[in-house]
Structure 1
Amino acid sequence: MSWSIWFVFLWFITAIVGAMLPTKDAHWTLAYWLIGLGLPLLGWFVWENGLWLGLLVLAGAMSILRWPVRYLVRWVLRKTGLRREQV
């Protein structure tokens, strides 16, 4: 097994354990750290293990970090004009 698989596994364990801990900022600091570490890790994983497994890891990471993904999608839709501001 490649090292990238172990580091992805460690990333998922960190995300799960971090979600269980109480925080004052609703886990946003942890989410920023996970995104910052996860993007290069995902690139390394895809490089070593292929696109299809990388897409599975991306789907798993998006399920853990679902609120940042929702806010990103809303922001992109507002900026592109596909969704108007709600009054």
Structure 2
Amino acid sequence: MSASALAGILWVLAATATAFLPMRRQYVPGLTLLALAPVLIGWLTWQHGWWIGGFALFAFLSMFRNPLRYLIRRALGLTVEAPPQ
């Protein structure tokens, strides 16, 4: 098994563990995973090809659609709602 595949598996396990945390405790690990994802997707694409990278990108966008939507709206200066706590 390649190092990038192992890193991807560990990232998925960390994301799953983060999802089980209460919302107020998800911010730090969630932002860390959000920041590491583009690097990991690039690494997977470089080692395994564009179709694996495409699947990884699709999975990432699916998992982080709400935080990404929030960050994009905030960057554009639009109104945003805080997530329920």
The bucket for the TM-score relative to the shorter chain is 0.7 to 0.9
Give me the CA root mean square deviation: 2.1
- Compared CA separation, residues 55 and 72, structure 1 to 2 (3 A): farther
Residue 11 of structure 1: CA displacement? Answer: 0.3
Task: Indicate the SS of the match to 2:24.
Answer: coil
Residue 21 of structure 1: CA displacement? Answer: 1.4
Figure out how many residues of one structure are paired with residues of the other and give that number: 79
- Give the TM-score normalised by the residue count of structure 2: 0.74
Does the aligned pair in 2 maintain the 1:7–1:41 contact within 8 Å? yes
Q: Aligned ranges for residues 6-25 of structure 1 at < 5 Å? A: 6-24=6-24
- Give the TM-score normalised by the residue count of structure 1: 0.73
In 2, Cα distance between the equivalents of 1:36 and 1:73? 15
Higher Cα Rg, which structure: 1
- Structure 1 residue runs without a partner (length 5+): 80-84
- Structure 2 residue runs without a partner (length 5+): 80-85
Task: Indicate the SS of the match to 1:24.
Answer: helix
Task: Identify the residue that residue 60 of structure 1 maps to in structure 2.
Answer: 59
Task: Indicate the SS of the match to 1:21.
Answer: coil
AA aligned to 2:9 is F
Identical pairs, percent:
33
